[in-house]
Amino acid sequence: MEKKPCDLGKEGEQQAVDYLLDAGYQIIDRNFVCGKNEVDIIATDGQSIVFVEVKTRATHAFGEPEQAVTKAKQKLIIRVADAYITKFNVTMEARFDVISIVLNGEGKPEINHIPSAFEPSIC
């Protein structure tokens, strides 16, 4: 039975959380919403606050999941991150990571963590 996209996304986000915890990150928040936009995971690596976008696919058939983090999506994530930083008076340096996951049905998912995947633009 094929998974629904929302189930696939939730499973991928949990895989990403587990991955980050295993790598020594502390999870601060999940699915932080500002307006109609959200950041999947907010974590810290002890030095930076890390805003993580998770992209999950069932296969590689339509390309790599991280390719879905377009410039437009990056701008939305940056806006949400700015709102989070302002709301909680965050003083740590911010970083934007992408975690792409392919749940290929062969047991262990393929996880690709891309630290500093993009930078906030000044424009």
How does pLDDT run across 43-98, given as a tens digit for each residue? 999 999 999 999 999 888 888 899 999 999 999 999 999 999 999 999 999 999 99
Q: What is the pLDDT of residue 1?
A: 42
Range in 13-17, 58-62, 83-87, 110-114 the model is least confident about: 58-62
Helix, strand, or coil (residue 49): strand
What b-and-e string marks burial along 3-42, b requiring 16 or more CB atoms within 10 Å of the CB?
eeeeebbebbbebbbebbeeeebebeebebebeeeebbbb
The whole model's pTM is what? Answer: 0.90
- CATH number of this structure's domain 1-65+94-123: 3.40.1350.10
Q: What is the mean pLDDT of residues 99-110?
A: 85
